[in-house]
């Protein structure tokens, strides 16, 4: 995505690209105060050129996740998907430069990956996931009740 042309950044603002994902950027003041994080910062392009950019961004995401499924990378995936879905639903035409083509490419790859995963999903995985989530729920409820009881006994 090296050929991108982004809007000029005002002199009092610093735009920093993420070390791992070329489509993630952070905007800071000159005094290093974080203003904004964009999890899908791609250039405005004609639709089909943008679609290529989005597919490349998805490839970056999959490559990173295959090496490291850290909380940070999963968070970037979640936020990039949210931002791309929002952009994808904006109304533009195919001739107007926008980020919609990139969002479409990114989301379509993620859709295909999810569909592929669903085809090979093991039903036991979902039972285990439900069981673990239920255990978490029981634990949180028990801890909440213990805290309420402790507060109640301290108040008397």
Which residue is listed with tokens 């490419």? 105
What DSSP character marks residue 97? -
Nearest to 81 by CA among 118, 101, 61, 107: 107
Query: CA 39 to CA 41: how far, in whole Å?
Result: 6
Buried b / exposed e across 82-100, counting CB within 10 Å, b at 16+? ebbeebbeeeeeeeeebbb
> Kind and range of the H or E element at 12?
none
Which residue is listed with tokens 């610093």? 14
In degrees rounded to 5, what are phi and psi of residue 43? -75, 160
Q: pTM above 0.75?
A: no
pLDDT tens digit sequence for 101-127: 999 999 999 999 988 887 777 788 778
Give SS3 for 37: strand
User: Domain residue spans in the chain?
Assistant: 44-147
Burial, 4: exposed, middle or buried (Cβ in 10 Å; 0-12, 13-18, 19+)? middle
Nearest to 40 by CA among 109, 88, 95: 88
pLDDT tens digit sequence for 19-72: 889 999 988 988 888 888 999 999 999 999 999 999 999 999 999 999 988 888
């Amino acid at each position: 995505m090296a050929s991108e042309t982004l809007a000029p950044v005002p002199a009092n603002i610093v735009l920093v690209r993420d070390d791992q994902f070329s489509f993630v950027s952070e905007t800071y003041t000159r005094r290093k105060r974080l203003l904004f994080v964009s999890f899908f910062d791609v250039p405005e392009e004609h639709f089909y050129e943008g679609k290529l950019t989005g597919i490349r961004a998805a490839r970056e995401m999959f490559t990173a996740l295959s090496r490291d499924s850290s909380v940070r990378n999963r968070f970037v995936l979640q936020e990039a998907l949210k931002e791309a879905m929002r952009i994808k639903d904006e109304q533009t035409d195919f001739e107007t430069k926008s980020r919609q083509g990139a969002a479409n490419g990114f989301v379509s790859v993620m859709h295909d990956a999810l569909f592929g995963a669903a085809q090979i999903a093991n039903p036991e995985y979902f039972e285990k996931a439900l069981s673990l989530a239920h255990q978490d729920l029981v634990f949180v409820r028990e801890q909440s009740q213990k805290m309420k009881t402790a507060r109640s006994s301290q108040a008397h």
